[in-house]
Structure formats: C-alpha cells, structure tokens
Amino acid sequence: MKVLATYNIKGGVGKTSTAVNLAYLAAREGRRTLLWDLDPQAAATFLFRVRPRVKGGGRALVNRRRPIEAALKATDFENLALLPADFSYRNMDLELDDTKKRTRRLGQLLDSVSGEYDIVFLDCPPSVSLVSENVVAASDILLVPLIPATLSMRAFEQLTRFVSEVEGRRPEVVAFFSMADRRKRMHRDVIEAMRSNGSCVADTIVPALSVIEQMAQHRAPVPAFAPTSRAARCYEQLWAEVRPT
C-alpha cells in the first residue's frame, strides 16, 4: 500500500481538489483507493456527498476505540472509499499528544487497512502541527500544490525544512504549480525560478480554471463530470507523473 498526501503550510492552494481528483483517477484505473479527509473543514467529504461525521470523533480513531474500518464510507465511485472528516479533528493534535509514538499513530492506523487498499490519499489541513508530523511520517509521497507567487516559494522552503526535521523515513516531496495563470508575469517568473533552482517540481501545471471551482456545484471530481475538459487532462497528466509503481 502506498500513501500519498496533499499538503502545504498555506491554505487555499488546491490540496483538496488534487486529492479528490487523483483519488478518483487511481480508483478509475482499478486501484483499491481510500481517501482520508483530515481537514475539519471537510471539503473533500462534502465533494463526495458524505456526511462529515465519525462516531466518537477523532479521539475514538486515535485511541483505537473505533477501528478505521468501522468509520469508512462508500462513495459514488467504484474502488473509492472515504474516511470522512469530523469537526473534532480540530483537536487531533491533543489526542495524538496523549499517545505513545505520537508522531507515528496515523501511520499505525493506516497499517490496519494495508491489506484492503492499494493506495491511500491524505487530504491535510494547512498547518505545521503534530498532525502534519504524522502525515509526513506516514507518507511515501508528499504532493505540494503551489500557487506561483513569492509567498508560496517561501512557504515551500519552510515546508521542506519542516519535512527534513521530522523523525523517521523521508517521503518523496513533489511540488507542482496549481491555480496558475501564465498571463501574469509573476506567475511566469516564479515558475521559471522554481524550475531552475533544483526543486523537485512536476512538469504538469494545473491552471486556474472555472471548471475546477465547479466541483463544489457538481459534488464530483472533474474527470467524472467534465471528462474532456482541460482541467481533467491536467489532473490525468499529473497522476501519470506522480503515480506510484
């Protein structure tokens, strides 16, 4: 089982859109796929038409009083399951802090379903926290969406430093440009600068497109409701780049 997380210190950069669309594409090609919505705002849960509630909340999951399997929900798509968000996840740092191996607990929970899924996506809240440390420790690949702006470059440097300081194995960190507008000179300059400074940046650029915003209206991944759109092709290209073997 491979674990991919969409993570950035900054919010509003396209983490949830990426997690939802890539999870859908993984499931569409036949991989048994699980998406865990770790963000208490529950955007991914909403997009998959699932109620954002876990019985017992995040505490029950972290303390293993409620097995992950009992909290899973089916989605409208074959091979794709969801572990919903819950508003109590806002306190997950506190729950993790009370456990042994507090930076490894989420990985341990995922190990319990490793025989059931080929790939797991973690949709993460924007923060530097104990939850973030768990995500880094549990992941094989960290996907980092970046809006091509100066502050995004600074945030990526902070993220890279943070990942290097987390104990345990190091995930592969793959940044990609999200919500890009090549008509803007700053966007063009930042893209060129990031690619020339040796950062691991994917070739695929996901532009700022209205069809991506329409996910909230359709409550579905872009390739499901707009399969021939430019956005769908971009997510397919991104998945082809980052797809684990």
Residue 32: the pLDDT is: 98
In 3D, which of 233, 152, 243 has the Cα closest to residue 199? 152
pLDDT of 182 reads 82
**2-242 — its CATH code?**
3.40.50.300
- How confident is the model at residue 196, as a pLDDT? 79
Write out residues in the chain with pLDDT < 70, as ranges.
Answer: 198-199
Q: What is the pLDDT of residue 13?
A: 92
Prediction pTM value: 0.95
**Domain residue ranges of the chain, discontinuous segments joined by +:** 2-242
pLDDT reported for residue 198 = 66
Q: What is the pLDDT of residues 38-55, one digit of tens each?
A: 999 999 999 999 999 999
What is the pLDDT at residue 194?
A: 81
